[in-house]
Every structure is written in structure tokens, then in C-alpha cells.
């Protein structure tokens, strides 16, 4: 074999073949063939991996789109739930405010009714006591004690009268003083009319039964005597006077 190579070399040298041809002929060996085959296999593996990577990328993209759609749907549902909760909150707030206003009106109404009831009860009770006060005042104006014993009795019942009057004052009772004032039907009750030219018509001349206030309201109207215009006596006719003289 070595002899054949030597002969080939010698022949090549004689013929003047280039060194590159010889090197190419030497390089055409089984090792080089194996290397080419290995390179093809690597290329096929790389291509296969590239295809797998492409498929994986496509799958990841599809999964990403699906996940985005799920997130969008969930976000829309959450937004709808929030809006529903806001509406319910507004309704509950409005309902609470309405109930609070109704309760406040009820509280004010019941408080006012309670005050009016208490005032009415107080009014009725005091009205039952006023005749007792009237009798004490009549006794004081009519009785004139003469002896020491009568004076002692007079001072005794006058003390009771004063205690009763002081109690009524603490309850808010105050007497009217209508003398000299103009007659007011909201305060006075005219039971008598007296013709006079000393006072204008409608002037209260005398208080016959005392009237009282309970706070700012009329507890009992005062019974009064009112001034009326004085009527002139008509003059007798002259012919009637002449007939009477004859």
C-alpha cells in the first residue's frame, strides 16, 4: 500500500499536479464523511428544537389570550358587583335617612302632645281651684272684723288665701287687670253695660269676676262691666206741653 502511494506521489510530481489536489484527495477520508453526517444530524435536531420552540411559543400565546379573556370577564363581573353594592348602599342610606326623619318627627309630635296634655291637666286642676280663690276674695271684701277675735279669724283665712295664691303663681297663673282697658272679646266677657259719658264706649269699667292667665294663654275670661254711650232724654213736644197747661 505504501508502495502504491509512493508511486502515485511520484507520478503526481512527474505530471506536475498541484499540491492542493493531493491534499484534497487525502482529505477524502471516512472521518470527514462521518463529520458531515454528524453535522446533518445536529442540523436536524436544531430544526426539530426550533419547531418545538415555535409550537411552545404559539401555545403560550394562545394561553395568554385565554387568560386575558378570563381576567376581563372576572373584572367585568367584579365591576357589576361593585355597582350593585353601591346601588344597595344608596338605597339603604336613603331608607335610613327617611326612618331617622320619621322618628324625629314622631319624637317632636309626641313631645308636643305630652306638653299639651300636661298643660291641659294643669289647666283643669287650676280651674277647679279658682272658685275657692273667688270665695276668699269675696270674704275679704265683705267681712269687716270688729273685735280681736274676728281679726284673728280674718288673719287666719287670709293667710290660707295668700298661700293658695302663691302656689298658683308658681304654677304660672297670673290675674288680669282689665279696668280702664278697651274691651277685648278674646280676654273679657261683658255681662253688663253702663251708659256713661265719662269713658269712651267699650271701655272696661269694672271687673266683676277676675280673669286669669296660665302662662301666655287665657285660663279664664274676666267678667266685666263695659261703658256704653249715654242716651239723651228726648225733649217733650211744645203742643203737648201747651195742652197739658190748659
Over residues 135-161, the pLDDT tens digits come to: 888 888 777 877 888 788 878 888 888
**pLDDT given at position 28:** 45
Of 33, 26, 27, residue with least CA distance to 5: 26
Q: What SS3 class is residue 7?
A: helix
Would the pLDDT of 17 be above 80? no
Grid cell listed for 71: 381576567
CA-to-CA distance for 174 and 165, rounded, in angstroms?
Answer: 9
Question: Residue 21: which pLDDT band, with cuts at 50, 70 and 90?
Answer: very low
CA-to-CA distance for 201 and 198, rounded, in angstroms?
Answer: 9
Q: Which of 28-37, 137-146, 218-227 has the lowest mean pLDDT?
A: 28-37
Contacts of 21 (CB under 8 A, 6+ apart): 12
**0.85 cut: is pTM over it?**
no
Amino acid at each position: 500500500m505504501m508502495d502504491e502511494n509512493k508511486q502515485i506521489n511520484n507520478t503526481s510530481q512527474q505530471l506536475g499536479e498541484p499540491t492542493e489536489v493531493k491534499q484534497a484527495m487525502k482529505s477524502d477520508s471516512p472521518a470527514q464523511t462521518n463529520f458531515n453526517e454528524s453535522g446533518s444530524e445536529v442540523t436536524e435536531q436544531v430544526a426539530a428544537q426550533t419547531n418545538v420552540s415555535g409550537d411552545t411559543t404559539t401555545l403560550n400565546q394562545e394561553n395568554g389570550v385565554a387568560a386575558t379573556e378570563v381576567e376581563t370577564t372576572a373584572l367585568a363581573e367584579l365591576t357589576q358587583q361593585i355597582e350593585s353594592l353601591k346601588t344597595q348602599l344608596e338605597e339603604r342610606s336613603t331608607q335610613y335617612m327617611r326612618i331617622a326623619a320619621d322618628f324625629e318627627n314622631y319624637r317632636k309630635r309626641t313631645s308636643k302632645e305630652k306638653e299639651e296634655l300636661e298643660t291641659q291637666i294643669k289647666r283643669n286642676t287650676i280651674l277647679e281651684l279658682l272658685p275657692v280663690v273667688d270665695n276668699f276674695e269675696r270674704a275679704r271684701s265683705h267681712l269687716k272684723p270688729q273685735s280681736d277675735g274676728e281679726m284673728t279669724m280674718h288673719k287666719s283665712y287670709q293667710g290660707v288665701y295668700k298661700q293658695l295664691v302663691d302656689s298658683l303663681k308658681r304654677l304660672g297663673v297670673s290675674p288680669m287687670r282689665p279696668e280702664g282697658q278697651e274691651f277685648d272679646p278674646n280676654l273679657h266677657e261683658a255681662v253688663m253695660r253702663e251708659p256713661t259719658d265719662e269713658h269712651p264706649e267699650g271701655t272696661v269699667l269694672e271687673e266683676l269676676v277676675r280673669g286669669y292667665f296660665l302662662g301666655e294663654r287665657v285660663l279664664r275670661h274676666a267678667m266685666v262691666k263695659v261703658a256704653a254711650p249715654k242716651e239723651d232724654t228726648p225733649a217733650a213736644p211744645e203742643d203737648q206741653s201747651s195742652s197739658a197747661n190748659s
